Each structure stands twice: as structure tokens, then as C-alpha cells.
Amino acid sequence: MSKKFDVVVIGGGPAGYVAAIRCAQLGLKTACIDKWIGKDGKGVYGGTCLNVGCIPSKALLDTSHRYEDAQKHFDVHGISTGEVNIDVSTMLARKDQIVKNLTMGVAGLFKSNGVEALEGFGKVLAGKKVEFTPNGGEAETLEAENVIIATGSVPVNIPPTPLDEAGIIVDSTGALEFTEVPERLGVIGAGVIGLELGSVWGRLGAQVTVLEAQDKFLHVADQAVAKEAQKLFTKQGMDIRLGARVTGSEIADGKVTVKFLEGGEEKEEVFDKLIVAVGRRPFTEGLLAGDAGVNMDERGFIHVDETCQTSAPGIWAIGDVVRGPMLAHKASEEGVMVAERIAGHKAQMNYDVIPSVIYTHPEIAWVGKTEEEVKAEGEAYNVGMFPFAANGRAMAGADTDGFVKIVAHAETDRILGASVIGPNAGDLCQQVVVAMEFGSSAEDIGMMVFAHPTVSEAVHEAALAVHNQAIHKANRRPKKK
């Protein structure tokens, strides 16, 4: 006799495990299936984010930033350190311990909330049934009132640069496991993942070259921020080649020669390691039986409505397998929304205020619309900007690169978007996320009291600058009538 559940969640990443916990909290009998196997050969939860994504990459970013600070920037504070060295094995061990702590934490949360953890592979069958194949075991059928698909995404590989077993050409997962700092590192793709991983190894001493097929740097971000970022990354030693389309690669003598077209010319570079970071695609292979009734598009994304319901009754899909940005926090909130809707609540999600963050140094973050998007829509708007170079707390911390930028509607003054490049950009952008969620105007932020001295004051001043009222910088001169 098959097991019966109120909800079966397929996938234990930030979408799936959050959905499972919230379902259990709402009194629903819940199981969560995940196929991930950890380094110790045992099943773990947390998905890409906890195991080989958001968390381990931030651990390496933090270590590499501290190393670079000690090596290059302590002297401005009058601190002498002598020769500074990096022990890569210790750095990796610290990263692995953080991952272990968090994945064990998810297992503990499942236990405390009564979620049944099932290690193996899940396949959606017709009639809200799920075929569960345990790791190393035989398949069994589960019955559910609701099924939530949260199988996440995997890195995109490209034919010109196939991954190799020796670990010379790697994806984002392999880039977290280099046992020594490569002398020359190539990165294909100047997106979030490529810039973060390039930053890690560049700070530790690698000569980093980034090959980006797009002609614009960070084309999804506000272009004032993108230009500032490109300038700062170049100053840090990152060689960014725009309009560079990779055409082939060849491994010989422990190195890889990459061929690419740049400005109509055929060029090549030799690297010790090559990271392929050209994006991610939904992981849906073997997920759906032919008669499951769940529709997908040609790229493998599952069709859902605004509440994440699929074309099959009782089947939901969340996270990287559906439309929208592939972000862990977006996935988690979709998980909460779906859990609450299954429980009979009218939960909704505001897709207009999902922040994006790039954890380089300086950090880059944005929410809502860029100035280019607002301009293209023909809306009348005002812009306020404030540089960290004029912020006392940023000066005290010797971290003055970048600025805060706020775009507001010219008539209603409602905030349409914000972008930050600089210290704690992700946290500062979140302040604007909260404001936008409540429909705030730039004037609303300008009237709030911000603690002094904090880098948050840059948000305050940018909001004031929307109406030429910034206190700590010169405002635009009003046009003469």
C-alpha cells in the first residue's frame, strides 16, 4: 500500500525545503524528496544554494576579501602585517564546514517540523502520484493531495568548452574546489557567477581574464552602475573582454587554449584553469511522466500562473524551474506562497520588488526598474544619486567606491527602482525594497531619520537628491526659466 501525504515536495533546495517546512507548520502531512549526495556519500538537503552555490561561494569571497585587505589595504590604517600567505586547503575546509553546518540545520528543521525526508529521485505521475526511487533502492509510489516541483537548475555547458575530468575546464561547482591558485584563470561569462568566482581567485593572485559575448557589461543592471563596476573591476586587475564569443578550446600539457572572436578577429588565450559560467537551465530531466499533464516550454521551464500552479490540478512548481529570476530568495518566497495557498490562504507574491545582488567588492545590488527601463517606457521620472565618497562612515572604513541611485516617478514620486554599488550594497538595497513594498515615495525616505554615521545615510541622501534636496553634496542647479 502506497504512502499518502497532503504534500510531496520534489527538491530540497531553497524553494523545496522552505515550502516543505511551511507546509508542515500549517498542519499538512509533508514529505520532501531530494537526490543530492554530499561529499561523505550521504544524502543532504539545501540544493545548489547551500551545497555548491550561494553559501560556499560567499565563504570563499569573504576569505579572499580579507586576504586582499591584509595584503594590500591595511597600510592605510597604519597596520603592518609582514608577508601574508593564503592556505587554500584551510580556506576550502572552512567553506565545507559552513556548508555542513547549514545542511545539517535543514535536516534538523525537517525533524523539528515533522517533515518526512526522503533521499532519492522523484518523478511526477498522473493523478497527483509521485514515483520515489530511493538512492540505491527500488521505486515506490507516493500519493499526494498536492505536489510541489522544486527541482532547481544546473549550469549550462557549451560545446566549444566541454568540461574535462582533470578539472582544467570546470563549471561553477568545480571552481569552488581548486586546490591551488591558478596563475592564469579564464572565465567565460561576465554575469553574477563569473564575476564572483573570478573575484575570489583574482584576489588570491590569479591573473583573471573574463570573456563575455555581450557587447554591454552587466546589461541587466542600471548602466551607470555597470560602467562604474567595469571601471572598478578593471582597476582591480580583472581583464574584461566584451563582445568575445568563444569558438573552441584545446587542452594540452595541463593547460587550456581558448579560441574566441573579438571585434571580428580570431584570438586565443592560454589558461591554467577555465571556468564556464554562461548561465543556468532548469533541471527537469526525467521529472515528468508523459501523462503527468504538466506543460513545459522548449527551454525546459514549467508553465505556471501567477500563483505557481501548473496546468495539472494539484501540481505546483516553484524556483528555478519556472519563470522569473533564478534567485534563492525568490524561490523561497514562492515556496511560502504555495504552501499557504495549499492551506487555503490567499497568499500572493510581489514580483516587482525582488532584489538582485552581486557579492563582489564593491557589492552591486538593484531592485525594481533601471533608469533605462523607465526611460524606454516613456515615463517621466526623476533621479537621485549620492556617492559613498561623501559618506562619513564609508570614509572611516576606507570603502568609498560607488554610489546609491534612486529612480522615482516624476508626478507621483513613487519609487520605481534603486541601484547600489558600494559597501553593503545588498543590505542598503533591501531598505529600498521595504519602502517599495509599502508604495513609498522618495520624499517618504527623505523624511525618515537615519542613524549617523552609517553607510545607510547614502540611501537617505539619494532620496533627498531626487528633489535636489541632498544635504551632503552639491545638488543640480535648477534650470533658468
Please write the tens of the pLDDT for every residue from 419-430.
Answer: 999 999 999 999
Per-residue pLDDT at 476: 81
Mean local confidence (pLDDT), 249-273: 97
pLDDT in tens, 195-247: 999 999 999 999 999 999 999 999 999 999 999 999 999 999 999 999 999 99
- Count of the separate structural domains present in the chain: 3
Residue appearing with cell numbers 597596520: 79
Residue that is last in its domain, among 256, 278, 300: 278
> How many CB atoms sit inside 10 A of residue 101's CB?
11
What proportion of the chain, given as a percentage, has pLDDT over 90? 98
Assigned C-alpha cell, 207? 591573473
Same domain assignment for residues 37 and 90:
yes
264 in the same domain as 239: yes
User: Are residues 18 and 140 located together in one domain of the fold?
Assistant: yes
Instruction: Name the band, by pLDDT with cuts 50, 70 and 90, for residue 106.
Output: very high
- The distance from CA 477 to its chain's CA centroid, rounded to whole angstroms, is 39
d(CA 193, CA 360): 10
Is position 394 within any domain? yes
Whether residue 474 lies inside any domain: the answer is: no
Tell whether 406 and 460 lie within a shared domain. yes
Phi then psi dihedrals of residue 106, to 5 deg: -65, -45
Q: Quick one: pLDDT at residue 480?
A: 47
Is residue 336 domain-shared with residue 433, that is, in the same domain? no
The answer to the question of residue 163 being in a domain is no
Annotation marks residue 329 as catalytic: no
pLDDT at 470 > cutoff 90: yes
In a domain, 403, yes or no: yes
* Residue 372 within any structural domain of the chain: yes
Average pLDDT over residues 81-104: 97
Candidates 122, 152, 199; CA nearest to 359 is 199
pLDDT tens string 30-62: 999 999 999 999 999 999 999 999 999 999 999
CB 312 within 8 A of CB 294: yes
Residues 333 and 370 in one domain: no
Question: Quick one: 64 and 179 in the same domain?
Answer: no
Q: How confident is the model at residue 478 (pLDDT cuts 50, 70, 90)?
A: low
User: For 4-15, what is the mean pLDDT?
Assistant: 98
| Residue 443 predicted with pLDDT over 60 | yes
Evaluate if residue 298 carries a pLDDT over 80: yes
- Are 445 and 470 in contact, with CB atoms under 8 Å apart? no
421 vs 360: CA distance, rounded Å: 10
* Structural domain of 199: 169-278
Determine the average pLDDT of the residues in 362-377: 98
Q: Give the mean pLDDT of the chain.
A: 97
Dihedral (C-alpha) 65, 369, 353, 311: value to the nearest 10 degrees? Answer: -110
What percent of the chain is predicted at pLDDT more than 70? 99
* 2 class by beta-carbon count within 10 Å (0-12 exposed, 13-18 middle, 19+ buried): exposed
Q: How confident is the model at residue 479 (pLDDT cuts 50, 70, 90)?
A: low
pLDDT at 150 over 50: yes
Residue 194, in any domain of the structure:
yes
Q: Active site residue: 303, 409, 452, 467, which one?
A: 452
Peptide bond into 387 cis (omega under 30): no
Report the alpha-carbon distance of residue 402 to residue 225 in Å, rounded: 8
Q: Is the model's pLDDT at 481 over the cut of 60?
A: no
- Across 71-85, average pLDDT: 94
Q: Which of 250, 278, 306 is the last residue of a domain?
A: 278
- pLDDT tens digits, one per residue of 163-187: 999 999 999 999 999 999 999 999 9
Is 273 in the same domain as 287?
Answer: no
Question: Do 374 and 344 belong to one domain?
Answer: no
Angstrom CA distances, 70 to 67, 75, 80, 241, stand at: 5, 8, 9, 29
Same domain, 65 and 79: yes
In a domain, 324, yes or no: yes
User: Amino acid letter at 269?
Assistant: E
Pair (234, 299) in one structural domain = no
| 183 and 324 fall within a common domain | no
Strand partners, 207: 184
The helix or strand, by DSSP H or E, that contains position 364, with its residue range, turns out to be strand 363-368
The phi and psi torsions of 368 (rounded to 5 degrees) equal 75, -145
Residue where a domain terminates, one of 328, 349, 370:
349
List the CATH number of the domain containing 263.
Answer: 3.50.50.60
Q: Is residue 470 part of a domain?
A: no
* Helix 16-25 with 328-342: angle, nearest 10 deg: 30
Q: Which three cell numbers mark 383?
A: 533621479
